[in-house]
Amino acid sequence: MKLLEEKILNEGIAVDEDILRVDGFINHQIDPAFMQQIGADIADHFKGRGITKVVTIESSGIAPALMVANSLGVPLIILKKQPSKVLNDHLFQTIVTSFTKGTSYELTLSQKYISENDHVLIVDDFLANGEAATGAIRLLRKAHATVAGIGVLIEKSFQPGREKLNAQGIEVYALARIKQMKKDSIVFEEE
């Protein structure tokens, strides 16, 4: 998506060769109109495939995932990183370890919201090593739901997320694919 690539070039900050800061339009401040266009693009790619729910992981995935869910006309389910005090029984849970952040958390889904009748689209802001997405897939499989694919805003294609997901039979759709990053230089994969 040219619009997102331009936004990344104009406003993104390559902190080093691995980490891109996008606080101004994804992680800290959000432009709703821009996010709506992003959501419509991802929804358009996956429309007509019988998707019944969109699933994301808190917190930065929520804004784009809500826009996708709105465009597809289906509910959004937010996977929690901490089991809340009110969400305490009938849960699916799995541990996710993030290489990017060096942290682990227990990804949690209430059994109430996903069933074997669901065909789910996962939406997230970044695809790096794909650990978060793989954790989400583990939870969806525990619920016997099927996975339609994953839509991400930014894929760092120099990291192994896509291969890991494709190896599990999951289609990845990324709006911007970063091939290489250095301070002051961001190179995208050719479309």
**Contacts with ligand G4P, residue ranges (CB under 6 A):** 19-22, 27, 57, 59-61, 98-101, 125-132, 156, 161
Q: Residue 52 or residue 188: which is nearer to ligand G4P going by CB?
A: 188
Query: Minimum distance from CB of 23 to ligand G4P (Å)?
Result: 7
How is 58-116 classified by DSSP, letter by letter? Answer: TTTTHHHHHHHHHHHT--EEEEBSS--SS--SSEEEEEEEETTTTEEEEEEEETTT--T
Q: Please state, in angstroms and as integers, the Cα–Cα distance from residue 36 to each residue in 19, 65, 159, 189, following that order.
A: 25, 10, 27, 24
CB of 130 to ligand G4P, least distance (A): 5
For the CB of residue 138, give the shortest distance to ligand G4P in the complex, in Å: 13
Q: What minimum distance in Å lies between the beta carbon of 131 and ligand G4P?
A: 3
Smallest gap from Cβ 99 to ligand G4P, in A, equals 4
Q: Which residues of 83-101 are buried (b: 16+ CB within 10 A; e: fewer)?
A: eeeeeeeebbebebeeeee
Give CA torsion, residues 82, 59, 130, 9, to 10 deg.
-160
Which residue number, 17 or 49, has a Cβ lying nearer to ligand G4P? 17
145 to 25, 112, 115, 163: CA distances (angstroms) = 32, 13, 6, 22
Nearer to ligand G4P (CB atom), residue 59 or residue 111: 59
Q: Cβ(86)–Cβ(110) under 8 Å?
A: no
Q: Which is nearer to ligand G4P, 103 or 117 (CB)?
A: 103
The smaller minimum CB distance to ligand G4P, of residues 18 and 117, is found at: 18
